[in-house]
Copies of this chain bind each other. A is one copy, B any other.
Amino acid sequence: MTKTRQAPKRERILDVAEELFALRGYDGVTLRQIANNAGVDVALASYHFGKKLDLFNAVFERRAAHLNSARLDALEACQASADAAGPTVEQIIEAFLRPLELAQETGDPGWQNYLALIAYINNSPYWGPRMMSKLFDGLVSAFIAALRKALPGARDEDIYWCYHNLSGALTLTLAQTGRIDKLSGGKCLSADFEAAYDHMIPFVAAGFREVCGRSGKKRA
C-alpha cells in the first residue's frame, strides 16, 4: 500500500472549509462555496471526505490531537515545576490558555479559524452536546482535577460553575467577533490573544478564589 502519493487539494479543501464553517456555521456554507474558494470541483470534497458532515468532522479531527497534547503538556510542565502543594490557580489557568496563543503564533491562520470553529460549536445548543465531549472531555477533566487540588475544601459545584465562566470568556475570545474592538473604540482588539489572556488569567484566578473559598489563596 503505497502512501507516497499525496493530494494537495485535499488540504486546501480542509483549510477553506475550516475558514468558512468558522465564519458562517455548518449550514451557512455550501460545498460549492468551499470548492470554489479552494479552486476545486464540487465532487472532490465528496471523493475525499464523503458526506458534508464527514468533511465537517474531518476539519475537527485534523488538529484535535495536536491541540490537546499541547495543552496537556503545559499542564504537566507546570505540575512538574511546582512544589508538593501543586501549581497555583494562576499557573493552571495559564497552562489552559497560553497554548492557544502558541497555536496562533505558528503563523498558520488556519489555527485561528480552527479555534473560532471550536467557539462556534461550544456555544451551539445543537453541536455542543454532540461534539465538545468527544473532543475535550479528557482534557477538561485533567484541568478540573488540578484546580480541585489547588482549591482544597472547595465544593465541586462551585468549581464547575467557575470553570463554566472561564469557558465562556475563552469561547467569546476565540470566536473573534470584533465586538470589543468597536465597544472600546479600538483600545482592545479581538485579534490580540496575548492581551486577552493577560487580562483573562488574573480575572479568572481571582474569580475562582472568591467563589471557591479563601483556602486557595495566592502563593508566592
A109 to chain B, nearest CB (A): 14
Closest to A170 in B: B168
Whether B164 and A169, one on each chain, are in contact in the complex, defined by CB atoms closer than 8 angstroms, is yes
Contact partners of A133 in chain B: CB under 8 A: 179, 182
Would you call A50 an interface residue if the criterion is a C-beta within 8 Å of the partner chain's C-beta atoms?
Answer: no
Contact partners of A167 in chain B: CB under 8 A: 172, 179
Would you call A163 an interface residue if the criterion is a C-beta within 8 Å of the partner chain's C-beta atoms?
Answer: yes
Partner pick for A172 among B123, B177, B206, CB 8 A cutoff: B123
Q: How many residues of A contact B (CB 8 A)?
A: 64
Contact partners of A31 in chain B: CB under 8 A: none
Interface 0/1 of A106-127, CB less than 8 Å to B: 0000000000100110111110
Would you call A78 an interface residue if the criterion is a C-beta within 8 Å of the partner chain's C-beta atoms?
Answer: no
Quick check: which of A22-30, A41-49, A52-60 contacts chain B, the rest being far away?
A22-30
Would you call A215 an interface residue if the criterion is a C-beta within 8 Å of the partner chain's C-beta atoms?
Answer: no
Would you call A38 an interface residue if the criterion is a C-beta within 8 Å of the partner chain's C-beta atoms?
Answer: no
A134 to chain B, nearest CB (A): 11
